[in-house]
A and B are shown apart, each in its own frame.
Chain A
Amino acid sequence: MAKLNMVEAINLALREEMERDNRVVVLGEDVGREGGVFRVTDGLQEKFGADRVIDTPLAESGIVGTALGMALYGLLPVAEIQFDGFLYPCLDQITNHIGRMRNRSRGRFICPLVIRVPYGGGIHAPEHHSESPEAILAHTPGIKVVTPSTPYEAKGLLLSSIRGHDPVLFLEPKRIYRAIREEVPEGDYTIPLGKARLVQEGKDVTIIAWGAMVREVLNAAEQLRGDKIEAEVIDLRTISPMDVEAIVTSIRKTGRGVIVHEAPKTCGLGAEIIALINEKALLSLQAPIERVTGFDIPVPLAKSEHYYLPNSKRIIMAIKKVISF
């Protein structure tokens, strides 16, 4: 079995799905000739032609608005928005149309499409290239929000996203695009949306993360073994709809929790998760839940980005705080 990084795994998923189902089309800026700025769609236009791997004009709202129209007609568009910061012009189309089409037409019109977005910081990119907009998206009814944390996960989750009947925002943690290599099988396998992954079991504390932060969390958990702290790690995988059951089950077991996300703290998903835990498992808690997050500031440029991004040191401090409470 080949060891692939996340870019290669997503490329493989698209390639196989386009072969299997001719309704799948890829569109976006630079996805064709260039194969995407991160090379995620590398070689696809050569293989499937310019009618199925479409270089579009530079207009994000146009890309997702036309993808909606394509989906109405029965195609399965996989649109790429080049960087997280350029997703914002699409929010009108996403919130006002894509997320509502099924509901407002009472199921007569549906637009199952996938919008892939490389997201998050940590690659020393220019401004507007390091955003984590998952909470905005999770606050939007009618769409699903998915983010993989490894190459294997990326392929299985993307295939489920393309095959599902709802629109999906597929957030790809660009920081780990090439940082992890693992075995990714060729051929069909899917990972269901809405189900979290128990990455490692532990009895002392539950750590909840997604995307690139899962790797940071595992790094922190490894360092805590020396302190005889056994952390249970949950990778949410799907941010909306969230696997509340998995979170609550783990908190009931450990009684302690830390949530890690790159996005700003205020009204971030961490707040929502804490509220859910309070509703469903308050009496299991041995300590207040801690959040390790970005800050309520624009993501700093390269020289200061390390101040912003959660790292294993901050995660360890939070874990120790909840354990010693």
Chain B
Amino acid sequence: MGLFEDYHPLKGKTFQILKPDGTLQPDSKPPISDQEIFHLYQKMLFIRLADQRALILQRQGRMGTYAPIWGQEACQVGSAAVLQKGDWVFPAFRELGATLMMGIPLKTIFLYWMGNEEGSRASEDVNVLPVSIPVGTHPLHAVGLGWAARLKGDAIVTIAYFGDGATSKGDFHEAMNFAGVFKTPTIFFCQNNQYAISVPRSIQTASKTIAQKAMAYGFDGIQIDGNDLFAVLVATKEAVEKARSGGGPTLIEGVTFRFGPHTTADDPTKYRKDEEIEPWKPLDPMIRLRLYLKEKDLWSEEVEQRFTEEAQKDIDQVVKDAEAVPAPGVEEIFKYVYAEMTSSLKEQLAYLKTTL
């Protein structure tokens, strides 16, 4: 039996390989070499540090509203790690990890949150769409693009990231439905972080799992431990390979927890008690990897400290570079609206210039 049959959502099982104590589930093995695991751990650590830095910058007034990913590193690093260069990524707004993994420079990500549209410009060889803020609207784009690729005969896959809140939106269901009907090579990656701002998962849907929603649309769904890097790697790889070979879409529900606020504009103590956070703390995706890697003599406090110091220096430089980028000129806000600037936009721009 394949993974998706073994973990059929209606069987009520959650796929996990690496347990929170750093040991493996019986009859399991890590999906990649220990060196590769260490490499991905370092990516996750760098992402966590970059995320923390963004929070600090926001508190210092050097960055605008920011949506932190703290706690969701395994979901994003594990899923992006199995994608290939020609694949397409459709992020929501909490995907610093996945987009960084796919080749968007941290400086670009910071520029966006600092309020510069240049931060949404991916380089020509990076197929990562800009942040999508209207919740749940962008999976349709991933489906359409995958569908176009299928019509052209190209073996690429598309992945859309979204949260539990997005699964309540009509566009999410339309996307799932189109994907099922046209067998598009799409991975719907739901990071179920338990909260949509203040509204808990239990109020989003009466479904027992989010993964089981895939059943209604005629394709595979799986609930995985989203804080287990190994489970994320294995499930996403399986979904990607299936999609690439014409097997259609998959819905992956990564069960995780948002340790931080929804964005820097909100105060989670209003809706979330400390008692609720406590049980999640030992489930942190970093802790179990440290325990695993320590056992393999690849991790120690010194290794962590050395890496952290180096990463902080790199992030210092990124912040410096991002802050040194000059503010956009006034033409910039007009010139990309249409392929060619319309005469009324030219007129409005000329007027604006006379007022500056």
Contacts and interface: CB of A to CB of B under 8 A. Distances in A.
A25 B137 CA distance: 22
A65 B144 contact: yes
B242 interface: no
Residue in B132, B142, B178, B336 with the greatest tally of chain A CB atoms within 10 Å: B336
Give me the 4 closest cross-chain CB pairs, A-B, nearest first.
Answer: A69-B144, A65-B140, A66-B144, A62-B174
A interface, size bucket? 35 or more
Interface residues of B, number: 42
B70 interface: no
Interface in B143-180: 143-149, 151-152, 158, 170-171, 174-175, 177-178
Nearest to A99: B337
Given A69-B142, A108-B121, A244-B343, A93 B129 contact: no
B343 A59 contact: no
Interface string B336-347: 111100111100
B49 interface: no
A126 interface: no
A72 B145 contact: yes
A165 B340 CA distance: 9
Given A106-B332, A241-B345, 20 more contacts: A56-B178, A57-B178, A62-B175, A62-B178, A69-B144, A69-B147, A70-B145, A72-B129, A72-B145, A73-B145, A74-B148, A92-B171, A97-B134, A102-B337, A103-B336, A106-B118, A108-B120, A164-B339, A194-B342, A194-B343
A70 B148 contact: yes
Contact of A65 (B118, B149, B151, B171): B171
A75 interface: yes
Residue in A56, A105, A112 with the greatest tally of chain B CB atoms within 10 Å: A105
A61 B134 contact: no
A73 B149 contact: yes
A104 interface: yes
A103 B337 CA distance: 5
A88 interface: no
Interface of B: 117-118, 120-124, 129-130, 132, 134, 137-138, 140-149, 151-152, 158, 170-171, 174-175, 177-178, 181, 332, 336-339, 342-345
Residue in B144, B149, B178, B339 with the greatest tally of chain A CB atoms within 10 Å: B144
A133 interface: no
Contact of B336 (A62, A69, A71, A102): A102
Contact of B151 (A67, A75, A110, A194): A75
A66 B178 contact: yes
A297 B43 CA distance: 58
Contacts of A107: 121, 336
B140 A166 contact: no
Nearest to B170: A61
27 contacts: A59-B174, A59-B178, A61-B174, A62-B140, A65-B137, A66-B143, A68-B141, A69-B148, A70-B145, A70-B148, A72-B141, A72-B144, A72-B145, A73-B145, A74-B148, A89-B170, A96-B134, A96-B137, A97-B132, A97-B137, A102-B336, A104-B120, A105-B120, A110-B339, A241-B338, A241-B342, A244-B344
A109 interface: yes
Contacts of A75: 148, 151-152
Contact of B152 (A73, A93, A164): A73
Interface string A46-61: 0000011000110101
A141 B143 CA distance: 25
A72 to B, nearest CB: 5
B145 A65 contact: no
B117 A103 contact: yes
A263 interface: no
Nearest to B145: A69
Nearest to B174: A62
B145 A106 contact: no
A144 to B, nearest CB: 8
B144 A70 contact: yes
A165 B337 CA distance: 11
Nearest to A109: B129
